[in-house]
Amino acid sequence: MGIRRYKPTTPGRRGASVSDFAELTPGVKPEKTLLVPKRRKGGRNNQGVITARHRGGGHKRAYRLIDFRRNKDGVPARVHSIEYDPNRSARIALLHYVDGEKRYILAPNGLKQGAELMSGPEAPPAVGNCLPLRNIPMGMTIHNIELQPGRGGVLCRSAGTAAD
């Protein structure tokens, strides 16, 4: 993820920076089958009473169903696109599996469109592949770590986070 820094033309612009979105695949819409509606709370409880003031508004969001388990072992997948997710700081990648299934995953740093990915213990230790910790060499940077096998990744899921 590249960072675009603004020149200090005003006191408010001094030190300001935004993502340049250069890593996103241009002209790609989200996969409709992997979108679900997301209801906004706006600081209200189950009775509709405001319990946290000054909340709400903003642009409407749809939730992208992310595969945190990566349990499709032995089936190769190709990265179709790298996309923006309004619900998290990390980018997501749309995978097209050989059997026709489509899934979103958290996109690791260095993942490119068209890359071939695998899951399971027989997968090689490469960027984007998912394999058990015992099969990962020491010192390799990893993300989306499961605490209990089969429960899905819970550690290092935000943008820029990793474990060695």
- 7-50 pLDDT, tens digit each: 999 999 999 999 999 999 999 999 999 999 999 999 999 999 99
Q: What CATH number was assigned to the domain covering residues 21-38+60-164? A: 2.40.50.140
Q: What is the pTM of this model?
A: 0.89
- 111-133 pLDDT, tens digit each: 999 999 999 999 999 999 999 99
Name residues whose C-beta falls within 8 Å of residue 88's C-beta, 6 or more positions apart in sequence.
157, 158, 159
Instruction: Name the one residue in this structure whose structure tokens are 């906004």.
Output: 40
pLDDT number for residue 2: 82
